Amino acid sequence: MKAAPSVDAYLAEVPEPARVALERIRSTVRALVPEAGEKISYGVPTFTFHGNLVHYGAAKNHLSFYPGSRRVMQQFAAELTGFETTKGATIRFTPARPIPLTLLKRIVKARVAENLARR
């Protein structure tokens, strides 16, 4: 994808059903952390809360959620079995097999706690 000037512009370029899956992440994080900011960082939508909180994005053959923390990835490793993950704190998924909402919420809450602990 080409660099987007805003999160809305980024999502507008993502085809269905991938857009729905990414908008689900966006609405979930917004509901959990209403004071979080949004921006494009590293070429993908990013939530900020006392620093970068989480990132998410679309690739040609998958979608990605980036908790941005190896510690959080280790904390939830057992629950991420079945998803492709990387050492760089990436979770790859598809619209047909999204990250479960309960797990997504727990990961975001863990990241909020990490960012608040660094203040």
Residues 6+ apart with CB under 8 A from 66: 44, 54, 55, 56, 57, 89, 90, 91
Instruction: State residue 68's pLDDT score.
Output: 92
Are 99 and 85 a contacting pair, CB within 8 Å? no
This prediction has a pTM of: 0.95
Q: Which 3 state secondary structure label does DSSP give 29?
A: helix
What the block records as the tokens of 39 is 């921006």
Interatomic CA distance for residues 80 and 91, integer angstroms: 8
pLDDT of 59 reads: 93
Instruction: Tell me what pLDDT residue 87 has.
Output: 85
SS3 content of the chain, % helix, strand, coil (to 5): 40, 25, 35
Question: How big is the chain, counted in residues?
Answer: 119
User: For residue 30, which amino acid is it?
Assistant: R
What's the CA gap between 13 and 99, in Å, rounded?
A: 21
The tens digit of pLDDT for each residue in 63-88 reads: 999 999 999 999 999 999 999 999 88
| Look-up of token digits 């949004």 | 38
Domains observed in the chain = 7-113 (3.90.1150.200)
Alpha carbon distance 76, 14 (integer Å): 28
The parts of the chain modelled with pLDDT lower than 70 are 1-2
